[in-house]
Amino acid sequence: MDGQKELEDLIKSGNPFNDAVLSDWRKQLDDFNASAAVCPLPNFKMDADEKWIAAYQNKFGKKEKGLHFELLPDPFRGDPRAPVWILLLNPGYSEVDRYDHLGLCPFCGERLVRADGKATSHENGCAARFFGSRLPDASAALRYRQNMLIEELKLDLSTPRKFLWFEPVFHTVTEENVTVAGKGGSLWWKNFLFGKAASNSYLLPNCNITEPTPTIGNRIFALEVFPYHSMKFDPSFLDNELYRESKYFEFWCSLVRWAVDTGRKIIVRYAAVERALKNAIGADFANKKDDILCMASIKPSLTIQNLCGKDCVANSKVAVNELCNVLKERGMRWCAKEAQ
């Protein structure tokens, strides 16, 4: 069954990124964009999360496990009506993200691009040759990225939802400059789903989806169990009672229950996410063994080997073949629709 009306109701009633939250974050972005070159960074966290955020930061916030609230949360990618869902731990972090979200130089932290189009005081030139969106107006590209990141949090189903990180304005780092500049969201997702070059050893190319274009959001939906960015995240925190009572985690549980009930194929990365899914859907986890496929390796590669390799006894080859058939079928439908 499709269940779109039920999904719309879930989003309307349960999505914690509501109008009041997003209005405040837009104002923070506007203030930051219009402020002087040196100014406080935005603070994109929900007031209702303060208690469990304090608990996390007090226990895990040192060094690389701290949360980065200067970046907008990034828990959703693609369309939840898609036939295949990928469940992950939380959005990562690299200095490139600060460029994508705020226009800051990933090397020295100074403004490299201003969303208001004004000149910056950045004179080091340390990143200018690595960054851009392949668009002539870097300021317009930054404003566009910021608006897309905000709009993505609404999970609005009234218009087609694409895979945000494959939009051209997010192509801010080229493959050859990764070792100098870092990956950022666009290249991380490209490498996770397709590798450096499309290969049939990866799931999507094996299913005749060979290009990292925004339209793959029609076929896959990616959902994080934790919404905020960090370079490293301690998955044991998912068992924290305060977090389990958070609005976002309750929303995540509602979404994954809907996905299971409506027959979505679900790919799970990380054992901690698998445990959270088991807790969310209970006995249905065992009953849906052919619809829920757990990646065998923590290596970030959505390959056939990681779904059906010799080290993965949980997933049958039949289940993986069914997953491929679903992606191929939806891909053909999409291509036919595009051709009309």
Residue 269 to residue 294: CA distance in whole angstroms: 6
Q: How does strand 265-268 pair with strand 229-230?
A: unpaired
| HSE-up (13 A, CA, CB side) for residue 225 | 28
Q: Under a CB-based contact definition with an 8 Å cutoff, are residues 88 and 161 in contact? A: no
* Mean pLDDT score, 156-166: 92
Residue indicated by tokens 């290249």 = 187
- pLDDT at residue number 334: 41
Higher local confidence (pLDDT), 65 or 330 = 65
- pLDDT at residue number 129: 61
* Mean pLDDT score, 125-152: 81
> Per-residue pLDDT for 314 more than 90?
no
- pLDDT at residue number 335: 38
- pLDDT at residue number 309: 62
Q: What does the pLDDT look like over 69-92, one tens digit per residue?
A: 999 999 999 999 999 999 999 999
- pLDDT at residue number 45: 96
What are the domain boundaries of the chain?
Answer: 4-339
Report in angstroms the alpha-carbon separations of 89 from 101, 142, 228. 21, 27, 10
- Of all residues in the chain, the percent with pLDDT exceeding 70 is 90
Q: What does the pLDDT look like over 177-204, one tens digit per residue?
A: 777 777 889 999 999 999 977 788 999 9
- pLDDT at residue number 183: 83
Q: What does the pLDDT look like over 15-24, one tens digit per residue?
A: 999 999 999 9
Q: What does the pLDDT look like over 96-111, one tens digit per residue?
A: 999 999 998 888 888 8
Q: Is the dihedral of CA 150, 194, 331, 170 positive or negative?
A: positive
> Per-residue pLDDT for 127 more than 70?
no
Q: Under a CB-based contact definition with an 8 Å cutoff, are residues 184 and 96 in contact? A: yes
Full-model pTM: 0.92
- Of all residues in the chain, the percent with pLDDT exceeding 90 is 63
Q: What does the pLDDT look like over 27-73, one tens digit per residue?
A: 999 999 988 656 789 999 999 999 999 999 999 988 789 999 999 99
Confidence of residue 173 (pLDDT cuts 50, 70, 90): confident
Q: Where are the beta strands (DSSP E) in 102-204?
A: none
> Per-residue pLDDT for 212 more than 70?
yes
Confidence of residue 313 (pLDDT cuts 50, 70, 90): low
- pLDDT at residue number 126: 66
Q: Under a CB-based contact definition with an 8 Å cutoff, are residues 227 and 90 in contact? A: yes
Residue 250 to residue 14: CA distance in whole angstroms: 8
Q: Where are the beta strands (DSSP E) in the chain?
A: 67-68, 76-78, 84-88, 220-224, 229-230, 265-268, 292-294
> Per-residue pLDDT for 311 more than 70?
no
- pLDDT at residue number 339: 33
